[in-house]
Amino acid sequence: MTGPARGALAALLVLAILAIVVPSLHPADPLAIGDVAGARLVAPMARDAAGGLHALGTDRFGRDIVVRMLLAARISLAVGIVGSLLATLVGIVVGAASGWWHGLVDRAAMALCDTLLAVPRLILLLLCATLWRPGMTTVVVVLALTGWMSVARLVRGEVRGLRTRAFVEGARAAGASEWRVLWRHVLPNALGPAIVALTLGVGNAILLESGLAFLGLGIQPPTPSWGNMIAGGRDLIVTAPWVALAPGVALIATVLACTVLGDALRDSLAGDGAGHLGERT
């Protein structure tokens, strides 16, 4: 793993730890509505009326930006990881079935993939988000339903390339069933690209979740999301720019870290040859 990739991984781990620990230890309620302790729109590194220091300032309701930003990180990371993981699992199942069995299964699966891929993902997200009640569960489900197609195509290509390999023919000759050959011998060797897609997909899912929240179709206030924090501070960009800039920088840095980590993993697998995790016989 390269230096930038190690730095990206370390940054994500530190962010995850801070997101879990800091909001739980802060005495003030990060979800409160109202002028909390007379601390409305305190500038970064300034103190409120009660003497409390706010490293990144406060918002229009006097809530600490750092605490809300880390609470939003907890939510965004959870939504991004779970949504991307579910999308990857669906893609693996569909891609494996499509690549292993020819005929109707393959044609139907690829026709569905091509149809959904022809529609921009953001449009699919907006359509699904408007049909269901906004919230964390809805965002996770929508991300999973709109993100599995590219993974399915990757896994399908890997499975089709592996199904005639010598170790697969050997498993068949040993009397293994088609299901066992697929799930025990072929699929583990086809997961490399799917793992890379999962890593890259987390950053993309976080970005999409923030976009939905910014538009009012994702996580709803007062629960913080980087997207709705940016939306809440856009009318203060001149008088109190830190309200929107802090979560915006956090969002960009997190997505960049996920991208760097995914690129490093992809390069590592490509350097191993075909990008397989290692043949299992």
| Residue-level pLDDT at 19 | 92
165-210 pLDDT tens trace: 888 778 878 887 778 888 888 888 888 889 989 999 999 999 999 9
* DSSP assigned state of 54: E
Q: At what angle do helices 242-271 and 3-25 cross, to 10 degrees?
A: 140
Q: Do 64 and 224 touch, CB atoms closer than 8 A? A: no
Residue 221 sits in a domain of what CATH number? 1.10.3720.10
Query: Does residue 40 lie in a domain region?
Result: yes
Q: Number of structural domains, the chain?
A: 1
227-274 pLDDT tens trace: 999 999 999 999 999 999 999 999 999 999 999 998 888 888 776 654
Query: Does residue 44 lie in a domain region?
Result: yes
Which tokens go with 177? 């069933």
Q: Which domain holds residue 231?
A: 3-271
Query: Does residue 276 lie in a domain region?
Result: no
Q: How far apart are CA 74 and CA 150, in angstroms?
A: 27
pTM of the model: 0.86
Pairs from 267-270 (Cβ < 8 Å, separation ≥ 24)? 268/1, 269/192, 269/193, 269/195, 269/196
Q: How far apart are CA 126 and CA 211, in angstroms?
A: 10
Q: How far apart are CA 65 and CA 199, in angstroms?
A: 28
125-149 pLDDT tens trace: 888 888 888 888 888 988 998 899 9
Query: Does residue 277 lie in a domain region?
Result: no
Q: Do 86 and 144 touch, CB atoms closer than 8 A? A: yes
Q: Do 276 and 98 touch, CB atoms closer than 8 A? A: no
Query: Does residue 279 lie in a domain region?
Result: no
Query: Does residue 19 lie in a domain region?
Result: yes
* DSSP assigned state of 47: E
Q: Do 167 and 185 touch, CB atoms closer than 8 A? A: yes
Query: Does residue 246 lie in a domain region?
Result: yes
Residues 6+ apart with CB under 8 A from 90: 144, 148, 151, 152
Query: Does residue 220 lie in a domain region?
Result: yes
Which tokens go with 175? 């009397």
B/e letters for 78-103, b = 16+ CB within 10 Å, e = fewer, are bbbbbbbbbbbebbbbbbbbbbbeee
